[in-house]
A = this chain, B = another copy of it.
Amino acid sequence: MPKRTTHEESSCPVARPLDVVGDGWTLLIVRDAFDGLRRFGQFQKSLGLAKNILSARLANLVANGVFELAPAADGSPYQEYVLTEKGRALFPVITALRQWGDRWFFTEGEPRARLVDRESGEPIAPMRVRAADGRVLGPEDATVLLP
């Protein structure tokens, strides 16, 4: 995690979240949670990261309200990491990132995991930035208003 010293810490809604999810592992942990993973060992096996790192990341995510600890649903004497509302609200972020990766990091026809609508089995729609009236906006069509 970088050490933001300037005005960055304060008023920009992009900078603050990056203190929580701005490293290479955290969003993968959350993605795995969307895929149904809940237990320490599941995350560790899925991601192959060192246990101390996972431990630190999970603790940080709990401290920041992305996960909460709950007694294991299956009766085992352990605890589970379950996404909070705040954590589930990362779904658009991870999906946008996934679509970017899908478009720009795979060659035509290269096999990849696909996210589909569970109901229809169809791929989900590409996410776009839209104005209040529904017009699709590019980076040039939007501007930041400082507080």
Contacts and interface: CB of A to CB of B under 8 A. Distances in A.
Contact of A117 (B16, B137, B147): B137
Given A100-B92, A111-B11, A133 B145 contact: no
Size class of the A contact interface (CB-based, 8 Å): 35 or more
Interface of A: 1-2, 4-6, 8, 11-19, 21-25, 27-28, 31, 34-35, 46-49, 53, 65, 83, 86, 88-106, 111-120, 122-125, 127-135, 137-147
A141 B119 contact: yes
20 contacts: A4-B24, A15-B28, A17-B101, A21-B97, A35-B143, A93-B96, A93-B100, A95-B129, A111-B147, A113-B145, A114-B144, A114-B145, A115-B144, A116-B145, A117-B142, A118-B141, A124-B131, A125-B132, A125-B134, A127-B129
A101 B144 CA distance: 15
Given A1-B24, A8-B47, A21-B97, 16 more contacts: A2-B24, A6-B47, A11-B111, A12-B101, A18-B27, A22-B23, A22-B27, A89-B104, A92-B99, A95-B142, A113-B145, A113-B146, A116-B145, A117-B137, A119-B141, A125-B132
